[in-house]
Amino acid sequence: MVGELATETERAGGVPASASTLDTRDSKERGVLSEYTGTGAGRTAVVAWLVSVPKHRTEEGREGREVPSRNYEAWRASNYMYMCGGRLRTALYCPQVVRRLRVPVLPLTVGLAVVPVVLCLVFEAAWFWHEVSPAVVVLFAYCAVQMLASVLKAALLDPGALPKNVHVTDGVEKDGLPPEYHSWIEMPGPQVLRPVVPPALAAPAGAPPPPPQRNTVYMKYCDSCYIWRPVRASHCSKCGVCVANMDHHCPWLGNCVGQRNYWYFFNFLAFAVATSVYLLAMSYYKVAHAGLHASRWSLFLGVYASCCLPYALLLLVFHVCLGLTGITTREYFGAERHEGNTQIQDVCLDPFNSGSSLFNLRRQWFHGRGRANVEIRGRYAPNDLRYKELHVGTLLV
């Protein structure tokens, strides 16, 4: 940072040596690009389309800096790395998985899922195809393809990111936010079909059921994104954005799990469990019928699947329970709890628990993805505040 400030100071003061050095370096870089491609700008455009890291871009509009043409190229306040012209995205790094290397974690996750599938298809599929049935291999391949497709969709698609700098006041860059922006807003929540009450306050046997009611929910202003967050939305410090209906940030996917990719995440867990169970059963069958000497790869794959199965199965069961109660992972860990409850919908007294397990499942799993909240691939307008870094008071966000 000190070096950058010194460079800017020298440039502002018109120091000939620094400016000449920068111009010489830029000319050499453009010459190297032209040597390989014939057109430096063309190669740069292709690279920017394949991989773009807005966080590492310098401010647009300065001398020698390229002005972004798409919204994702200008969204420096997020921690995303965009690929294929903004169609795909992933967090730059997740410190929970890789503490020192600031690299994306998704390749590691995909590798852990792909390796056993490839080994099984290369070394074991032929034996099952001829000795048992082709349907065994086809069904295994189907589960594996669904698992890989789901993990890629959950990791690379928009989780429901919300725009930034929407609710700001005039003069915010000088005076900061007004005091009322640091308070909570109380609002009526969704209608509860069968209100959940603690056992000590339950009505006596034979009494009529309580009428439907509305619990209270709260809205909060995000002082990082400068928006009033919708109910159930939350800010993710790893991705640098607020996410609608956020469930959690998955460090192994390098992405948040929210409104627009929760179903893909759940499918990934379901097919990961199915693939692990299938692989474990195939390994046991071949060891039992072909002998251990002819089933070394089967033994390895069986051990691999038995190590992966508990983790995926526990996560799947946990999210099934969340679906029955109609709440998210964040709401589960922050919900009010009462001892002595025996029914699963009584475990968490949450405003979004309707009291009906079937209604909760339908709302949690089968809701539509909805439209994207941010037109990330749209044409960038230099005066669009949603994709700029906002100075509030003396802070740079």
In this predicted model, what pLDDT tens digit does every residue of 84-130 receive, in sequence order?
988 898 887 766 555 555 667 888 899 999 999 999 999 999 999 99
- H helices of 163-295, in order, are 172-175, 262-290
Q: Are strands 51-52 and 391-392 parallel, antiparallel or unpaired?
A: unpaired
Q: Where are the domains of the chain?
A: 106-370+378-397
- Looking at per-residue pLDDT, the higher value among 312 and 60 belongs to 312
The pLDDT tens digits for 17-30 are 333 343 443 444 33
> For the whole model, what pTM was predicted?
0.78
Please identify which residue in the block is written with the tokens 């400016």: 19
The pLDDT tens digits for 143-165 are 999 999 999 999 999 999 999 98
Catalytic residue among 120, 250, 256, 348: 250
Report how far Cα 365 is from the mean position of its chain's Cα atoms.
Answer: 17
- Looking at per-residue pLDDT, the higher value among 211 and 27 belongs to 211
Interval 2-9 mean pLDDT: 38
C-beta separation of 260 from 372 below 8 A: yes
pLDDT at 371 over 70: yes
Q: What pairs with residue 91 in β-bridges?
A: 80
- Angstrom distance (rounded) from CA 75 to CA 164: 9
Q: Lowest-confidence range among 78-87, 99-108, 367-376?
A: 99-108
- Angstrom distance (rounded) from CA 176 to CA 16: 38
- Angstrom distance (rounded) from CA 397 to CA 394: 10
- CA atoms in the 13 A half-sphere facing the CB of 323: 17
The pLDDT tens digits for 384-394 are 888 887 767 64
- Angstrom distance (rounded) from CA 286 to CA 282: 6
- Per-residue confidence (pLDDT) for residue 242, from 0 to 100: 94
Residues ≥6 apart with Cβ < 8 Å to 77: 164, 225, 240, 241, 388, 389, 390, 397
Band of residue 338 on the pLDDT scale cut at 50, 70, 90: low
- Angstrom distance (rounded) from CA 128 to CA 227: 57
- Per-residue confidence (pLDDT) for residue 130, from 0 to 100: 94
- Angstrom distance (rounded) from CA 142 to CA 115: 16
Alpha-carbon torsion, ordered 267, 375, 49, 147, to 10 deg: 0
- Which range, 75-84, 150-159, 224-233, 338-347, is most confident? 150-159
Tell me, yes or no, if 94 is annotated catalytic: no
pLDDT at 50 over 80: yes
C-beta separation of 242 from 80 below 8 A: no
- Angstrom distance (rounded) from CA 121 to CA 127: 10
Q: Are strands 51-52 and 80-83 parallel, antiparallel or unpaired?
A: antiparallel
- Per-residue confidence (pLDDT) for residue 121, from 0 to 100: 94
Band of residue 15 on the pLDDT scale cut at 50, 70, 90: very low
